[in-house]
Amino acid sequence: KPFLKTRFMGRTGEYHNLIGSTNDRAKELAVMGVPEGFLVSANGQTTGRGRLGRSWASPVGQGLYFSIILYPNLPPVELPKLTLLAGLALGQAVENLGVEAKIKWPNDLLIKGKKVAGILTEMSAEAERTIFAVVGVGINIEPLNERESFSYPATFLKEHVAIVSRLKLLASFLGYFEEQYELFKKGEFARILKEYEKRLAFRGEEVKIISGSHEYSGRLSGLADDGALIIQDGFTTRRFAAGEISLRRK
C-alpha cells in the first residue's frame, strides 16, 4: 500500500500464498460484484493458465501472479484491447527496473528475446454487453525449481536485475495500468497503441503466424488502428485480430 499511488486499481484485493488460478478466483469475485480494480494476487498457482487452456508454470515464490477485475462498458469485440493496455503497462513497469522490454504481440513480454511475463484476459459477456473482464498477469522473477522447457524460451527478471521488489513491481504495474485504462476510457486508444508499437517485438522482421493448423509467413509491419497485427507477404497484406494465434520469429 505505501507504494501504491492509484485511485482504484489494486486499492481493494486479496492475497493468497497458493491458489488454483488468480483468474478463476477473480471471476468468482466479479460475479459477486467486488469493486472495480479489485486485485487477486498469489505467490503461486496450481493451475495457472495461458491462452487456449495452455498452462502457465507458477510455482510458489518463482514469480508474481495476479488478476484485476474490471467492469469496462464496452462491446466484447473491444476487449482484446485490454490485453494491449496491460502489455504496455507491464512493459513500462519492467523498464522502470532499468531493463529493456519488448512486447510479443499480443500478450507476452520479452527481455532479450525471451518470455518473462504473460497476460491472459478473460471476460463474461451477455449479448453485446460486457459484464466483467479479468486481466491476469504472470511475471517470472527468479527460477527456484529445475528449469522447465516451454514452447518459447523463458527468462526471469533476476537474470537481468539484481534486486526485484515484488511489491514495488506490482504497485508500479498498477499505476501504469490505471493510467492506460483511464486514457482508454477517454477514447485515447490511438495514443496507447503508439506507445505499444514502440515496444513491439519483431517489428520489420520476418515472422510466422500459427493459427490452428494454418501457418502464415511474412514481414511484421506493425499494428492496425484497432490493435490487429499486420503481416506483409509480398503483395499480400494480412491482418490478425488478437485472437488465438501464436507469433514466432522466422
Residue ranges binding ligand ATP (CB under 6 A): 50-51, 54, 56-57, 107-108, 115, 118, 140, 150-152, 154, 246
Q: Which residue, 71 or 150, is less far from ligand ATP as judged by CB?
A: 150
Q: Which residue, 31 or 210, is less far from ligand ATP as judged by CB?
A: 210
Asked whether 250 and 205 are in contact (CB, 8 A), the reply is yes
User: What values do phi and psi take at 194, rounded to 5?
Assistant: -60, -45
Shortest reach from residue 194's CB to ligand ATP, in Å: 23
Output the nine-digit C-alpha cell for 26: 477473480
Shortest reach from residue 56's CB to ligand ATP, in Å: 4
SS3 38: coil
- The greatest distance separating any two alpha carbons of the chain, rounded to the nearest whole angstrom, comes to 54
Shortest reach from residue 4's CB to ligand ATP, in Å: 25
Shortest reach from residue 129's CB to ligand ATP, in Å: 26
Give me the residues paired with residue 223 across strands: 229
Count other C-beta atoms under 10 Å from residue 103's C-beta. Answer: 23
Q: Which residue, 34 or 101, is less far from ligand ATP as judged by CB?
A: 101
Q: Which residue, 59 or 222, is less far from ligand ATP as judged by CB?
A: 59
The answer for residues whose C-beta is within 8 angstroms of residue 52's C-beta and 6 or more apart is 244
Name the closest residue to ligand ATP (Cβ): 50
Q: Which residue, 56 or 202, is less far from ligand ATP as judged by CB?
A: 56
Q: Which residue, 91 or 175, is less far from ligand ATP as judged by CB?
A: 91
Q: How far apart are CA 149 and CA 145, in angstroms?
A: 12
Asked whether 64 and 54 are in contact (CB, 8 A), the reply is no
Shortest reach from residue 115's CB to ligand ATP, in Å: 4
Shortest reach from residue 13's CB to ligand ATP, in Å: 22
Count other C-beta atoms under 10 Å from residue 69's C-beta. Answer: 26
